[in-house]
């Protein structure tokens, strides 16, 4: 078995739970936030810095690595773990979402998705079989089925078509996969339609993947709608397997997701807003670039134990942001990743202490949502 | 006394020597390469990473910090050491060279240099007194006299004028300096004229600074000319004080400088070429971006002990360079800084072992000069 999962503690008031996933590269304690290393690097951070934040697993991107440097090259390097010098678990997505994001540049047929490279416009085809071939060459511990994500808003018929194709493609992924040391996760689609989400959850659950992902959310819909869809999908996914909410990772969405039984999260938010001079905290975002912090010699978050907060002031980081210094991206990325991981650890601690529901209430009392 | 220097070992064949400088923030073993942190950050590196390379002292830039965030803000932060979280020695230059580099944007009078900010075009005036005020606010261990550097080539009369002004400004710096815990170094000018260099060296030496710098070299002249000037200047500078060759730091120039009695070097080359995908080695430059390294899974330098060479391949770094990933800059900066520091350490070891002359010959047999 390439992956095992066991629940440790269940919350009495919500679907929240803690657990442990075992992989060939070590264990992951859940709920977990997974930093994203799109191009085989968590942007602006060394693997040593990523490890120092407490990260237990990182993501990498099949589409991007297929385009550059090529999965064959990564395989020749000894696989992704060795290539990027990350010896803990890795998850690769299937490339489905990235191809979907190419919009007019892609055409979807039953066979797969034809698209033009964002780098040089060259024509390529991703199919379920090709997505498996690439992900097997990359060698991540957890790999994802090739799916078709739908935009928001989308017509019912279009969502039905994409969902049914996603189910057929999921079976083709199962059939194409040969490596035994990787765990393939299925992906639930169904847009923002409860009946389709229900159908997709049941179909994917029945295919007996070692883990199940919920895709097609956080694509522009209101936040309540995402939670509504989770309320429908989550109870239909097997309790004895990890649930992964793809592409979601703001503090409020994480805690809402955990309350709905989600175990795994990933998001580029942490490193992306860092490059725009923003810090994430349990109270909301801090725009370090703002003039108000010019002479603020306190850390981003005085309760944070990250390298950045232990050693640098808002004034210094603001100076770096204004001066376009790379170190600004690095220090803010370190903080944002570690702050998220520490937040998820607090969530775990509260689930185990039986105080999750009140912790969640308290969190929302203090959290300033993004306007 | 804010600074002391003592010679440890002298080379029998050349002017090379090893020594130790003591400062309020610790000791520096010489010869030393000082990484440059222009805007209070060694570009693309955390202070922890800079420390890990073995760096004993870093530079920061008076002109840049005066412009942004302002020396008053840095002083309010508790000084530069605290602001940038670097607790070892710091040297600040006087801003003279940066103002000189502004070309048409600056006007030099006896009082000082009037210039337009490179950021917003606002008018400013740097004088010897102002340069002391700023550097005292920044609080570096070693501060530099405000000087006038001449371009290459330059007319004899123009160089005479700049040199004589540099001498008068040096005295004004001595008169303006009030802090006792900082050491002020004088700067020799004189362009590429031996008689002027001789005059300047004698004049600056007579002013009894605790250390003496050689400015106005590496401004576009042929390398032999720089060495000729060092041959003239170095013997005229007191042996019992450190000699600092400003803005010079390629491997070949360092070893040539050491042979001529230079103890301190600084250069942005290490971090600048890193941002262009280039690595420095004792054999010359490695253009990691080149296609020839696409599938080269060996480190930049198999003999190098830096974090980059211990953990990453040329192929991976090339991928990062091609993908415009910040980590490329970080990994190459770490390597370039540490490779230079390790090289200078080898030079020290060879001076102490009495083998410097043969080490230098061997170095040049293997070193591929930049074309």
Per-residue pLDDT of chain A (371 residues; tens, 9 = 90+): 689 999 999 999 999 999 999 999 999 999 999 999 999 999 999 999 999 999 999 999 999 999 999 999 999 999 999 999 999 999 999 998 988 888 878 899 999 999 998 889 899 999 999 999 999 999 999 999 999 999 999 999 999 999 999 999 999 999 999 999 999 999 999 999 999 999 999 999 999 999 999 999 999 999 999 999 999 999 999 999 999 999 999 999 999 999 999 999 999 999 999 999 999 999 999 999 999 999 999 999 999 999 999 999 999 999 999 999 999 999 999 999 999 999 999 999 999 999 999 999 999 999 987 75
CB atoms within 10 A of CB B214: 30
Contact B311 A78 (CB under 8 A): no
In sequence order, what are the residues at sequence separation of 6 or more whose Cβ sits closer than 8 angstroms to the Cβ of residue A155?
none
CA dist B286 and B274 (Å) reads: 10
Asked, as a colleague might, if the bond just before A251 is cis with ω within 30 of 0, I would say no
What are the chain A neighbours of B331 within 8 Å (beta carbons)?
46
What is the per-residue pLDDT for A371? 52
CA distance B133 to B71: 9
Say whether A42 sits in a helix, a strand or coil.
coil
The rounded distance, in Å, linking the Cα atoms of B54 and B88 is 11
A322/B69 CB distance under 8 A: yes
- Per DSSP, A292 falls in state G
- Give the residue from B43, B69, B317, B329 with the most A CB atoms within 10 Å of its CB, the best one to mutate: B69
Is B327 close to A45, i.e. CB distance below 8 A? Answer: yes
Contact status of A47 with chain B (Cβ, < 8 Å): yes
Which chain A residues are Cβ-neighbours of B315 within 8 angstroms? 69, 73, 77, 83
Whether residue B31 is preceded by a cis peptide bond, meaning omega within 30 degrees of 0, is yes
User: Would you state the structure tokens that stand for residue A184, as one six-digit string?
Assistant: 């393939």
CB of A41 within 8 Å of a chain B CB? The answer is: yes
- The reply to whether A46 touches chain B by the CB within 8 Å rule is yes
Active site residue A93: yes
Residues B245 and B262 sit within 8 Å (Cβ to Cβ): yes
Q: Is B141 helix (H, G, I), strand (E, B) or coil?
A: coil
B185 touches chain A (CB under 8 A): no
Looking at the annotation, which residues of B are catalytic?
Answer: 93, 266
Which among A77, A323, A331 has CB closest to B315? A77
Q: Which of chain B's residues have a Cβ under 8 Å away from the Cβ of A307?
A: 46, 48
Cβ partners under 8 Å of residue A101, min gap 6: none
Smallest CA–CA distance, residue A297 to chain B, in Å, is: 6
Cα A309 from Cα A298, distance rounded (Å): 9
d(CA B318, nearest CA chain A) in Å: 9
B80 interfaces chain A, CB cutoff of 8 Å: no
Tokens 């019912």, residue located: A156
Write the residue in A47, A48, A69 that is nearest to B319 by C-beta: A69
CA of B188 to nearest chain A CA: how many angstroms apart?
31
Q: How many CA atoms lie within 13 A of B234 on its CB side?
A: 22
Q: Which residue of B has its CA nearest to A40?
A: B320
Give the Cα separation of A96 and B269 in Å (integer): 42
Distance CA B156, CA B154 (A): 7
Q: Are A274 and A336 in contact (CB under 8 A)?
A: yes
User: Inter-chain contact A315–B46, Cβ cutoff 8 Å?
Assistant: no
Q: Do B295 and A48 touch (CB under 8 A)?
A: no
CB of A144 closer than 8 Å to CB of A100? no
Confirm whether A266 is a catalytic residue: yes
Question: Of B142, B145, B143, B141, which Cα lies nearest the Cα of B128?
Answer: B145
Cβ distance A192 to A221 under 8 Å? yes
Residues of chain B with pLDDT under 70: 1, 370-371
DSSP string, A43-62: TT--HHHHHHTT---EEE-H
Round to whole Å and give the CA distance between B150 and A319. Answer: 31
Task: Report the C-alpha gap between A190 and B20 in whole angstroms.
Answer: 70
Q: Any chain B CB within 8 A of the CB of A107?
A: no
Of A44, A316, A325, the CB nearest to B327: A44
Residue among B43, B68, B318 whose CB faces A319 most closely: B68
Tell the residue number behind the tokens 């442990």, with chain if given.
Answer: A20
Burial degree of A291 (CB within 10 A; 0-12, 13-18, 19+)? exposed
Count of residues in chain A: 371
- Sign of the dihedral defined by the CA atoms of residues A364, A366, A369, A370, in that order: negative
Contact B40 A316 (CB under 8 A): yes
Are B100 and B152 contacting, i.e. CB atoms less than 8 angstroms apart?
no
Q: In what order do the strands lie in the sheet with B106-108?
A: B106-108, B113-116, B123-126
**How far apart (Å, rounded) are the C-alpha atoms in residues B341 and B34?**
8
Which chain A residues contact residue B312 at CB under 8 A?
A: 85
Give yes or no for B50 touching A (CB within 8 A).
no
The alpha helices in chain A, defined as continuous H runs, are: 47-52, 62-67, 71-76, 80-84, 96-101, 128-138, 156-176, 194-206, 223-233, 251-259, 269-274, 307-311, 314-322, 326-353, 356-366
First to last CA, chain A: 45
Q: What is the pLDDT of residue B55?
A: 98
Return residues 238-297 of A near B (CB < 8 Å): 294-295, 297
- Other beta carbons within 10 angstroms of residue A121's beta carbon come to 8
DSSP string, A307-339: HHHHH--HHHHHHHHHTT-HHHHHHHHHHHHHH
Question: What pLDDT score does A104 carry?
Answer: 79
Task: List Cβ neighbours of A324 (8 Å cut-off, separation of 6 or more).
Answer: none
Q: Are residues B297 and A77, on separate chains, in Cβ contact within 8 Å?
A: yes
Asked if A60 reaches chain B (Cβ–Cβ under 8 Å), the answer is no
B311 touches chain A (CB under 8 A): yes
pLDDT value for B317? 98
A325 is written with which tokens? 């210094």
Kindly state whether B316 is in contact with chain A, defined as any CB-CB distance less than 8 angstroms: yes
The runs of H, that is alpha helices, within chain B are 47-52, 62-67, 71-76, 80-84, 96-101, 128-138, 156-176, 194-206, 223-233, 251-259, 269-274, 307-311, 314-322, 326-353, 356-366
- The beta-carbon neighbor of B41 closest among A40, A307, A325 is A325
Measured between alpha carbons, how far is B16 from B258 in angstroms, rounded to an integer?
A: 5
Contact A297 B77 (CB under 8 A): yes
Q: What is the pLDDT of residue A96?
A: 87
Q: Which of A147, A256, A263, A266 is labelled catalytic?
A: A266
The answer to whether A340 touches A56, Cβ cutoff 8 Å, is no
Q: Give me the long-range contacts of B197-205 (CB less than 8 A, separation at least 24).
A: B197/B229, B197/B232, B197/B233, B198/B232, B198/B233, B198/B236, B199/B163, B200/B163, B200/B166, B200/B167, B200/B233, B201/B232, B201/B233, B201/B236, B201/B237, B202/B236, B203/B167, B204/B167, B204/B170, B204/B237, B205/B236, B205/B237, B205/B238
Task: Using the CB atoms, write b or e for B19-50: b if 16+ within 10 Å.
Answer: bebbbebeebebbbbbbbbbbbbbbbbbbebb
Tokens of A136: 């097997």
Residues with Cβ within 8 Å of A40's Cβ and at least 6 positions away in sequence, in order, are A60, A65, A74, A80, A83, A84, B316, B319
Question: Is B47's CB within 8 Å of A311's CB?
Answer: yes
**pLDDT, tens digit (0-9, with 9 covering 90-100), for B29-48:** 999 999 999 999 999 999 99
Contact call for B325 and A41, based on CB within 8 A: yes
How crowded is the C-beta side of B48, counted as CA atoms within 13 Å?
Answer: 13
A193 vs A225: CA distance, rounded Å: 10
What residues of chain B lie within 8 A of the CB of A61, using their CB? none
Distances in Å between the Cα of B211 and the Cα atoms of A3, B57, B143, B144 are: 64, 15, 10, 10
């Amino acid at each position: 078995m390439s992956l095992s999962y066991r629940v440790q503690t269940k919350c009495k008031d919500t679907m929240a739970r803690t657990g442990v996933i075992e992989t060939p590269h070590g264990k992951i304690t859940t709920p977990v936030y997974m930093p994203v290393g799109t191009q085989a690097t968590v942007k602006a951070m060394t693997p040593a810095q990523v490890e120092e934040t407490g990260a237990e697993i990182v993501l990498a991107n099949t589409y991007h690595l297929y385009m550059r440097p090529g999965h064959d090259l990564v395989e020749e390097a000894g696989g992704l773990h060795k290539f990027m010098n990350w010896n803990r678990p890795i998850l690769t997505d299937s490339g489905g979402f990235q191809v979907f994001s190419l919009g007019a540049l892609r055409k979807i047929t039953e066979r797969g998705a034809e698209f033009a490279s964002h780098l040089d416009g060259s024509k390529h085809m991703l199919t379920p079989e090709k997505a498996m071939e690439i992900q097997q060459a990359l060698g991540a511990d957890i790999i994802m089925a090739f799916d078709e994500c739908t935009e928001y808003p989308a017509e019912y018929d279009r969502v039905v078509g994409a969902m049914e194709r996603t189910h057929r493609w999921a079976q083709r992924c199962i059939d194409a996969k040969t490596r035994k040391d990787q765990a393939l996760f299925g992906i639930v689609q169904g847009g923002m339609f409860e009946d389709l989400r229900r159908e997709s959850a049941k179909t994917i659950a029945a295919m007996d993947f070692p883990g199940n992902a919920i895709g097609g959310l956080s694509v522009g819909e209101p936040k309540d709608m995402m939670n509504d869809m989770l309320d429908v999908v989550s109870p239909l996914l097997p309790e004895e397997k990890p649930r992964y909410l793809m592409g979601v990772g703001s503090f409020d969405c994480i805690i809402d997701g955990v309350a709905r039984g989600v175990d795994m999260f990933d998001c580029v938010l942490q490193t992306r807003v860092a490059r725009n001079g923003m810090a994430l905290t349990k109270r909301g975002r801090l725009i370090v670039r703002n003039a108000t912090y010019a002479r603020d010699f306190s850390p981003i978050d005085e309760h944070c134990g990250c390298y950045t907060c232990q050693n640098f002031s808002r004034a210094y980081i603001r100076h770096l942001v204004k001066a376009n210094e790379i170190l600004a991206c690095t220090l803010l990325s370190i903080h944002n990743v570690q702050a998220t991981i520490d937040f998820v650890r607090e969530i775990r601690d509260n689930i185990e202490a039986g105080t999750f529901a009140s912790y969640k209430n308290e969190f929302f009392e203090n959290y300033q949502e993004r306007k």
